[in-house]
Structure 1
Amino acid sequence: MKYVLLGEDGASAEEKLSGYTGVVPWSYLRPHCQNGVLYFLDPALALTDVGAAIARNESTKVEAWLKSGDLVKLGEVHSVQWEKESPEFESLVVSPFVLCRPVAW
């Protein structure tokens, strides 16, 4: 019998994280925004790539995305807009952070 430690299955971080992505309504994301852990991604970035960089603690990459505006911490201004529109978001949880972007651009 072969035992494998959880997480050591040969899959990349991106492959593992793809299982934690999904489409959710704004109501699911609202509490994360209120807690200050919700981040919006530019459509040019893949959720799993950003999530993997966060999981690997690749601070240089994450800081570059934050500085360029490709990754933005969401606040009250965004929340007000989406309360009215109620869009759906593609989302990924990389605890303690939640990454998102609207499904329809």
Structure 2
Amino acid sequence: MEEKDLKTQLTEMIDVAEWEWLEPHAQKGNLFLVNANLSVLEVGLAVAEDNTEVVQRWLDDGMLQRPSQSQMDYWQSADAPKFESLIVHPFILSKEQPA
């Protein structure tokens, strides 16, 4: 598949998610938080293309990480933020939206 086709496909799959929808995936270890300096699309492309070098660098630098227990506890609150999210099976890539 050409990169443009993949990029277009992934762009169309980006949506907004509530924490309650993401929580089960976080509990299974499949949810990754995308740093504010990266785009969900950029990370999704790297994951879909199996670009392990780039993904590993983001993980090592903390630019891509699983949510901490304290973050998950905070998002349980009634005023939990919404998340820009993209599914790149088996992972969910999410970025907290500004309030």
Fold match by TM threshold 0.5? yes
SS at match of 1:12: helix
2:15 corresponds, among 19, 22, 25, to 22
Q: What amino acid does structure 2 have at the position aligned with 1:65? A: W
For the 8 Å contact 1:24–1:90, the answer to whether it is kept is yes
SS at match of 1:32: helix
For the 8 Å contact 1:33–1:75, the answer to whether it is kept is no
Give the alignment's TM-score, normalised by structure 1.
0.84
Give the alignment's TM-score, normalised by structure 2.
0.89
2:94 corresponds, among 84, 94, 100, to 100
Q: Can you give the 5+ residue segments of structure 2 that lack an aligned partner in the other structure?
A: none
Please state how far the C-alpha of 1:16 moved relative to its aligned partner.
1.3
Distance 1:10 1:35, change over 3 A: closer
Distance 1:86 1:10, change over 3 A: closer
Moved over 4 A (4+): none
Aligned to 2:6: 13
For the 8 Å contact 1:24–1:91, the answer to whether it is kept is yes
- Of all paired residues, the percent bearing the same amino acid is 30
Aligned to 1:55: 48
CA distance in 1, matches of 2:46, 2:57: 11
1:66 corresponds, among 54, 59, 62, to 59
Please state how far the C-alpha of 1:20 moved relative to its aligned partner.
0.8
Question: Which structure is higher in helix share?
Answer: 2
CA distance in 1, matches of 2:13, 2:54: 21
Query: Could you say what the CA RMSD is over the residues aligned between the two structures, in angstroms?
Result: 1.7
CA distance in 2, matches of 1:94, 1:41: 13
Distance 1:96 1:13, change over 3 A: same
Aligned residues: 98
For the 8 Å contact 1:39–1:98, the answer to whether it is kept is yes
